[in-house]
């Protein structure tokens, strides 16, 4: 019998993440179409060396737009990377490519990017 997402314990749920870091990349939204575009700019709290959020336990307080992924909301967040391990689990038959490749070495911290340069950083990675 298939395991339901809601059957995962908190620890099991946390362990699904492969720490690719792609959900920590900044996204831009087209005001007219609503389309979301990923950039190679990463949240300033992302620890590139250890490939982890440096404020994980309090991330939602410090960064209000940082989302806490749960079994109850994974089906509602359309902008999650297609290769995200949680999304893959939810869309088991989606056929989207599986990828554990991380953002390490190919992104820049938001602290080093000026506001008017954001659009220059839009990416179209095949493994997003
Ligand atoms: S606060 Fe942490 S989990 Fe949230 S986007 Fe930034 S680095 Fe990622
Ligand atoms: S995109 Fe998914 S698998 Fe990758 S770090 Fe974010 S939550 Fe984890």
Q: 74: which 2 tokens?
A: 């994974």
State pLDDT tens for residues 49-66: 999 999 999 999 999 999
User: What secondary structure does DSSP assign to 30-80, as a single string?
Assistant: -TTT--EEEEEEE-TTEETTTTEETTGGGHHHHSTT-----TTTTTT-TTS
Instruction: Give the ligand 2 atom nearest the CA of 86.
Output: 2
Residue 126 lies in a domain: no
Structural domain count, the chain: 1
- Give the distance between the most distant pair of CA atoms in the chain: 52
pLDDT of residue 115: 95
CA distance 100 to 31: 31
Q: 18: which 2 tokens?
A: 């492969």
Beta pairing class for 46-47 and 52-53: antiparallel
Residue 96 lies in a domain: yes
pLDDT of residue 119: 97
Residue nearest (by alpha carbon) to ligand 1 atom 1: 59
How far, in Å, from the CA of 65 to the mean position of ligand 2?
16
State pLDDT tens for residues 113-123: 999 999 999 99
Residue 15 lies in a domain: yes
pLDDT of residue 108: 97
State pLDDT tens for residues 67-99: 999 999 988 898 999 999 999 888 875 555 556
Domain span including residue 98: 5-121
Decide which of 2 and 3 is more confident. Answer: 3
CB 122 near ligand 1, within 6 Å: no
Residue 127 lies in a domain: no
Instruction: State the first-to-last Cα distance of the chain, in angstroms, to the nearest integer.
Output: 30
Predicted TM-score (pTM) of the model is 0.92
Candidate of 81, 82, 90 to mutate for ligand 2, largest count of ligand atoms within 8 Å of Cβ: 81
Look-up of token digits 């056929």 = 95
DSSP conformational letter for 122: B
Please give all residues whose beta carbon lies within 6 A of any atom in ligand 2, as ranges: 17-23, 69, 81, 84-86
Residue 64 lies in a domain: yes
Residue 128 lies in a domain: no
Residue 71 lies in a domain: yes
Decide which of 110 and 97 is more confident. Answer: 110
């Amino acid at each position: 019998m298939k395991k339901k997402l809601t059957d995962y314990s908190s620890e099991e749920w946390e362990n699904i993440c492969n720490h690719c870091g792609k959900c920590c990349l900044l996204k831009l939204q087209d005001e007219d179409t609503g389309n979301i575009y990923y950039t190679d700019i990463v949240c300033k709290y992302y620890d590139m060396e250890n490939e982890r959020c440096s404020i994980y336990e309090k991330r939602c307080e410090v960064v209000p737009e940082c989302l806490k992924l749960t079994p109850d909301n994974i089906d509602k967040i359309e902008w999650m990377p297609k290769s995200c391990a949680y999304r893959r689990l939810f869309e088991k038959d989606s056929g989207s490519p599986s990828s554990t490749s991380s953002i390490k070495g190919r992104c820049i911290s938001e602290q080093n990017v000026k506001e008017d340069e954001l659009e220059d950083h839009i990416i179209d990675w095949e493994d997003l």
